[in-house]
Amino acid sequence: MSNDSSNSPASGLAARFRAAIDNRREQARLAREAEERRKEQLTLARRKLLDDLAAFGRAIGHFKVTARGDKVAFRFDGRSLCFEVDPGSEHVQVLSDELSGENHLFIQEPLNKWVWSHKPKRGPERRVMLFDQGLESLISSALKIQPADPSETPPPGNPLKRSL
């Protein structure tokens, strides 16, 4: 009798199990690679968000803006609003003494847009697109300043000249 198992009746079954295991390992490898790419993209997106927020704060011209590493802070009239990457999650924490409850930013899939999540101590969670009304609401609440009415804002170029 030969020890060659390639001709045994079980060799077909063994090949099928081997193929299933190889397939499972390949799927796991692909899933790990996809997760690594997603995390890299999230890191880049958070970095871009912080850069955009710092640029926005500087464009206002009256905020003291601090941007260091994974944190951007706006300061105005003794109040502050900070955006800080939470290393233990996929969120960017939103911190201010003027904000109650839990506040963070996250990317809403599949829209790929930043969303502000506010979970008050009581009541339902509120979610607002950051660059629609969220940032305005955050600044208004945390720094206690409202944007000027667009009809009252002088046109760019000559801040002293208003049309009558």
5-19, 62-76, 126-140, 150-164: which has the minimum mean pLDDT? 150-164
Residue 57's domain spans which residues?
42-147
Quick one: pLDDT band at residue 164, thresholds 50, 70, 90?
very low
Domain assignment of residue 36, yes or no:
no
pLDDT of 106 > 70? The answer is yes
Domain assignment of residue 19, yes or no:
no
Question: Which burial class, exposed, middle or buried, applies to 50 when counting CB atoms under 10 A from its CB (0-12, 13-18, 19+)?
Answer: buried
Domain assignment of residue 155, yes or no:
no
pTM flag (> 0.85)? no
| Predicted pLDDT of residue 88 | 79
pLDDT of 68 > 80? The answer is yes
Domain assignment of residue 62, yes or no:
yes
Residue-wise pLDDT for 128-146, tens only, equals: 999 888 899 999 999 998 8
Domain assignment of residue 153, yes or no:
no
pLDDT of 71 > 70? The answer is yes
Q: How many domains does the chain have?
A: 1
Domain assignment of residue 34, yes or no:
no
Mean pLDDT score of the chain: 86
d(CA 56, CA 37): 28
Domain assignment of residue 113, yes or no:
yes
Domain assignment of residue 159, yes or no:
no
First to last CA, the chain: 107
